[in-house]
């Protein structure tokens, strides 16, 4: 088991759990909220089988990482990503962010990127470019919705998770076909193991505006999204990302919910592997 120290809160160290497996072109996978790095198991298996080095980590507050009460803003979270990239001295890495993880990808590329470190970026069901409705962001979502989410978490986060996963995987349509009750339960258990403070405070981070970060992206980019995503609808995220990054590749998963990494893993993996194979940085 490998850990990276990223700071300290009072007398307690803040350590991130990570896994670094395989050889070849590196791929760093950043998980969604409220899961952890193990949620990538179907992508990790495909990437390793295709000869890639695969790195996953648990965001602070989730999985086997420390659960501090601080650091759930995107400057800090992307700083954690940067520290891992620096520790492993990664070059020519493909950075993949799922849902909330897309924010780390965007902020890292906007603030920390060094030439050659990251040569491709993937935004999968991402919360980017900007979720908060505002005068300069009329396509955004009413912030009151996020306050409602926080109130539900504060009242009973376990009941909230149980209801949330119905929409996360579009269970009404896909349960028993593309996802089993056991897999849903595994996700629920992972969510329940996360820190209350992390689960709650990350909701505020979702309202970050990443448009300035996205304007700085100069590397090949893939936007992957489900057309039936009930959590982060394509129209408010993936479509806008494709508009802001006109050279980006866009793949829309037909019938795909928010959790396409599991329900549509075969299609997601095929698209992801094809995109990674296109890297012409000389490091693929």
Q: What is the DSSP string of 39-107?
A: GGHHHHHHHHHTT-EEEEEPPTTSTTS---SS--SHHHHHHHHHHHHHHHT--SEEEEEETTHHHHHHH
Locus of tokens 């070059």:
91
- Local structure of residue 8 (DSSP, 8 states): E
Write down the catalytic residue from 66, 229, 237, 251.
229
Distance CA 126, CA 248 (A): 14
258 catalytic residue (yes or no): yes
Write down the catalytic residue from 225, 251, 258, 264.
258
Write down the catalytic residue from 99, 126, 195, 237.
99
195 catalytic residue (yes or no): no
229 catalytic residue (yes or no): yes
What are the Cα distances from residue 98, in Å, to 134, 187, 238? 24, 15, 12
Catalytic residue positions, numbered = 99, 229, 258
């Amino acid at each position: 088991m490998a850990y990276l120290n990223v700071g300290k809160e009072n007398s307690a160290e803040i350590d991130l759990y990570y896994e670094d497996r395989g050889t070849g072109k590196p791929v760093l996978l950043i998980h969604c909220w409220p899961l952890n790095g193990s949620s990538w198991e179907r992508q990790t298996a495909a990437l390793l089988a295709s000869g890639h080095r695969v790195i996953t980590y648990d965001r602070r507050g989730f999985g086997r990482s420390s659960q501090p009460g601080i650091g759930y803003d995107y400057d800090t979270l992307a700083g954690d990503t940067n520290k891992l990239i620096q520790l492993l001295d990664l070059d020519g890495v493909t950075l993949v962010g799922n849902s909330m993880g897309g924010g780390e990808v965007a902020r890292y590329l906007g603030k920390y990127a060094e030439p050659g470190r990251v040569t491709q970026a993937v935004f999968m069901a991402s919360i980017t470019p900007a979720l908060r409705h505002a005068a300069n962001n009329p396509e955004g979502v009413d912030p009151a919705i996020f306050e409602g989410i926080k109130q539900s978490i504060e009242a009973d986060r376990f009941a909230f998770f149980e209801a949330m996963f119905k929409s996360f995987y579009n269970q009404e349509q896909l349960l028993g076909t593309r996802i089993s009750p056991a897999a849903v339960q595994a996700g629920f258990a992972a969510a329940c193991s996360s820190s209350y403070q992390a689960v709650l405070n990350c909701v505020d981070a979702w309202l970050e505006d990443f448009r300035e970060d996205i304007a700085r992206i100069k590397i090949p980019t893939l936007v992957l999204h489900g057309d039936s995503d009930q959590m982060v609808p394509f129209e408010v995220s993936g479509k806008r990302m494709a508009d802001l990054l006109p050279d980006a590749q866009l793949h829309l998963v037909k019938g795909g919910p928010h959790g396409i990494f599991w329900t549509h893993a075969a299609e997601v993996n095929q698209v992801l592997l094809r995109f990674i194979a296109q890297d012409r940085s000389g490091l693929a």
